[in-house]
Amino acid sequence: MPGVVVTTSALSAASTSDVPESGRAFFAGRVERGSTTAPIRVRSLGELRMLCGDRQNYGAVWDACRDAFNEGIGEIYIARVVGTTPVAATITLNDRAGTPLQTIRVTAKEVGAWANGWKIKVEAGSISGTVTIRVQQTVNGVDVDREVHANLATVADIALRGATSSFVWTNLNSATAAPNNLPAVATSTLASGSDDSGTITAASYVAALDLFTADYGSGTVAIPGFAPSTVAGSSTIGAGIKAHVSAFRRHGTICAAPGTTYSSALTEVASFRGPGAENVVYIWPAIISTDGRVERTLTAEGVVAAWRARAHKQFHPGRVPAGSIATAASLVRPEFTVSEDVANALDAAGISVIRTVYGKVQLYGWRSLSTDENYPTANIADLRNTLAYDLARTVADDVFGDIDSDGQFASRVKGKLEGRLAAIKRRGGLYGGVDQNGKKDPGYRVDVDSLNTPTSIAQNVFRVIVYFRPSRHASLISIELVYTPTGVTFAVAA
């Protein structure tokens, strides 16, 4: 199959850019409205309201998005979860005949109960022989115009409104002669929309992750609001996230549910630790968040996604989003406070803790759930996964290019890849070294020369190996204080 294929592996120690897109979040969950067949892209709280509706008590995604935007994230994709047989709200409008016939059916483009109660108000147009149709939503007892379609002369004109409307306007081909086949002056109310919420299970949330195909690139994946051990058939929410991020080379965030105690977190995280979990973190405790009026105890996916995005934007995709870079900018605080000893025990168990440090709320750890010693923290796999997407995109324009015998194609591909790696190195993401001959290396190497022979090139495959050495982070700064008596002097450096 044509394209760019990237495989990844790890070298043990015994063996001798800036990519802001990687900071995006992928959330699966229930929202009031929106597509159920493709992810909904939102870049602000205003877009969230416009595309997904207002906050509802039945879903945690809205709160997670609000917290994420308050903490500075730039982009979120939402996979909307509905039941097995959701229904769109609809109403049928009658014409003006003495014995009225059905002439227009109005149906919400998006399934769900969101449009129930919306009104279709037909009134005489300002031009003779036309109608003006208002689509209204009742807000605090007041009917507010959401759409106005003015001076429509024919039923065919009305049917064309669907191109710019949130509703489909279907011509029912009334037998009444024009102009009396226009809808009668009246106000009708949309009804019968349903999310079919009674059939939604934890498995529905896991299945929704399938909307986030590889085309959407790297980022962090979460299902806000669920205890990660919630059963989904023979699987769990946490296991579903692990499976998705492993298949699509993304980062996964699993968060403890509100009320999860320290001891319960230790038990829960143990079920998710193991091989293949190097790109997943478990966050404890839940957070207490406010919208300025009401405090709510929520899972922490939103703030964690934003702190990760902040680290990627300000530094590089391998930066640990913990400590000062992950200081809460909005009004959030951890549900529980912990002592230093408890925090250390949680860290040792693979739990990343949100805690108050010197008066500031911070994420104070980024432990991966892997038992592979190559991946003690999740940032290493995060960098690897981001590179997989970014390097493939970097050379995408060279697919189907001519592989010449003079090495120009090889040099072009190598140069592009080295350029992307150099950008990450400049921002601190790669750790330079010195080889056995005393020659410095930049922390990466792109090998094309040893792999491409006339035989392999004859297969129309150009092979590249990229080696990279991630920078390590200082999770502990050890300071030794030495008391000396008055008579002791110190050597002063020249």
| Per-residue model confidence as pLDDT tens digits over 448-474 | 988 899 998 999 999 999 999 999 999
Name 472's Cβ contacts closer than 8 Å, sequence gap at least 6.
431
Q: What is the pLDDT of residues 352-365, one digit of tens each?
A: 999 999 999 999 99
Q: Establish how many alpha carbons lie within 13 A of residue 373's alpha carbon, considering only the half-sphere containing its beta carbon.
A: 4
Q: How many CB atoms lie within 10 A of CB 46?
A: 10
Residues for the chain: how many in total? 494
Q: Are the C-beta atoms of residues 19 and 312 closer than 8 Å to each other?
A: yes
Q: How many CA atoms lie within 13 A of 119 on its CB side?
A: 17
Residue of 106, 92, 97 lying closest to 181 (CA atoms): 97
Q: How far apart are CA 494 and CA 492, in angstroms?
A: 6
Structure tokens that stand for 282 in this block: 């478990």
- Tell me the C-alpha distance between 181 and 66, whole Å: 46
Q: Provide the pLDDT for residue 326.
A: 95
Encode pLDDT of 182-205 as tens digits: 999 999 999 999 999 999 999 999
The answer to whether the peptide bond before residue 334 is cis (omega within 30 degrees of 0) is no
Q: Does residue 220 register a pLDDT over 50?
A: yes
Sign of CA dihedral 302, 306, 307, 311: positive
Q: Which of 3-17, 315-329, 476-490 has the lowest mean pLDDT?
A: 3-17
Rounded CA Rg of the chain: 29
Share of the chain above pLDDT 70, in %: 95
In this predicted structure, the answer to whether residue 173 has a pLDDT above a threshold of 90 is yes
pLDDT reported for residue 397: 96
CB 150 within 8 A of CB 170: no
Q: In Å, how far from its chain's centre is CA 140? A: 33
Pairing status of strand 295-298 against strand 287-290:
antiparallel
Burial per residue of 72-107, b for 16 or more beta-carbon CB atoms within 10 angstroms, e otherwise: ebbbbbbbbbbbeebbbbbbebbbbeeebeebbbbb
| C-beta of residue 301 within 8 angstroms of C-beta of residue 289 | no
> Which residues, in sequence order, are bridge partners of residue 124?
131
**Cα first-last separation, the chain:** 65
Which has more confidence, 476 or 176?
Answer: 176
pLDDT at residue 19 greater than cutoff 50: no
Q: Give the pTM.
A: 0.90
Confidence of residue 1 (pLDDT cuts 50, 70, 90): low
Q: How many CA atoms lie within 13 A of 32 on its CB side?
A: 15
481 has pLDDT over 50:
yes
Longest distance between any two alpha carbons in the chain, whole Å: 112
Quick count: other Cβ atoms within 10 Å of Cβ 263?
8
Rounded Cα–Cα distance for residues 428 and 431 (Å): 7
Phi, psi of 337 (to 5 degrees): -100, 150
C-alpha 73/C-alpha 455 separation (Å) is: 48
CA distances, 19 to each of 4, 39, 431, 490 (Å): 19, 21, 18, 48
Phi, psi of 89, rounded to the nearest 5 degrees: -65, 145
**Rounded mean pLDDT, 272-291:** 93
- Three-state SS for 122-133 is EEECCCCCCEEE
71-75, 233-237, 343-347, 468-472 — which is least confidently predicted?
233-237
Q: How many CA atoms lie within 13 A of 265 on its CB side?
A: 27
Q: With helix as H, strand as E and coil as C, how does the chain read?
A: CCCCCCCCCCCCCCCCCCCHHHHCEEEEECCCCCCCCCCEEECCHHHHHHHHCCCCCCCCHHHHHHHHHHCCCCCEEEEECCCCCCEECEEEEEECCCCCCEEEEEEECCCEHHHCCCEEEEEECCCCCCEEEEEEEEECCEEEEEEEEEEECCHHHHHHHHHCCCEEEEECCCCCCCCCCCECCEEEECECCECCHHHCCHHHHHHHHHHCCHHHCCCEEECCCCCCCCEECCEEHHHHHHHHHHHHCCEEEEECCCCCCHHHHHHHHHCCCCCCCCCEEEEECCEEEECCCCEEEECCHHHHHHHHHHHHHHCCCCCCCCHHHHECCCCEEECCCCCHHHHHHHHHCCEEEEEEECCEEEECCCECCCCCCCCCEHHHHHHHHHHHHHHHHHCHHHCCCCCCCCCHHHHHHHHHHHHHHHHHHHCCCECCEECCCCCEECCEEEECCCCCCHHHHCCCCCCCEEEECECCCCCCCCCCCCCCCCCCCCCCCC
